[in-house]
Amino acid sequence: MFQYEAPEGAQMIQVWINGKEWQVPEGLTMIQAMWYTGHEVIHGIGCLGGVCGACAAVYRMPGNFRLFNALACQTLVKEGMAFSLIASYPTQRAQYDIEQIPDAKEGLFTLYPESATCRNCNACTEVCPQGIDVRTSVWQAAFGDFKGVAETTMSCVMCGLCVSRCIAEMAPHEIALYARRAYGSRELAFPENLRQRMDSVASGTYDEELERLSRLSPDQLKLECGVK
* Residues of the shown chain interacting with ligand FES in the complex, contacts defined by CB under 6 A: 45-48, 50-55, 71, 73, 157
Judged by beta carbon distances under 5 to 8 A according to partner kind, the member of ligand SF4, ligand FES, none in contact with residue 47 is ligand FES
Residue 62 DSSP symbol: T
CB of 42 or CB of 194, closer to ligand FES:
42
Q: How far apart are CA 39 and CA 17, in angstroms?
A: 9
Verify binding: residue 159, ligand SF4, rule CB under 6 A.
Answer: yes
The only residue of 122, 133, 144, 185 in contact with ligand SF4, by rule CB under 6 A? 122
Contact 39, 45 (CB under 8 A): no
160 binds ligand SF4 (CB under 6 A): yes
- Considering the complex, state which of residue 101 and residue 129 has its C-beta at the smaller distance from ligand FES: 129
What is the rounded distance in angstroms from the CA atom of residue 131 to the CA atom of residue 124? Answer: 10
Residue 67: closest CA among 84, 92, 53, 79: 84
CB 193 within 8 A of CB 182: no
Residue 135 binds ligand SF4, judged by CB under 6 A: yes
Contacts of 123 (CB under 8 A, 6+ apart): 165, 166, 167
Cβ nearer to ligand SF4, comparing 13 with 161: 161
How many residues in the shown chain lie near ligand SF4 by CB under 6 A? 29
Sheet holding 12-17, edge to edge: 20-25, 12-17, 82-85, 56-60, 68-71
Among ligand FES, ligand SF4, none, the one that 123 touches (CB under a kind-dependent 5 to 8 A) is ligand SF4
- Is residue 72 a contact point for ligand SF4 (CB under 6 A)? no
- Euclidean distance between CA atoms 60 and 69, whole angstroms: 9
Residue 45 or 182: which CB sits closer to ligand FES? 45
Q: How far is the CB of 127 from ligand SF4 (least distance, A)?
A: 6
CA distance 87 to 55: 7
Q: Which residues bind ligand SF4 (CB under 6 A)?
A: 53, 118-124, 127-128, 130, 132, 134-135, 138, 156-162, 165-168, 170, 172-173
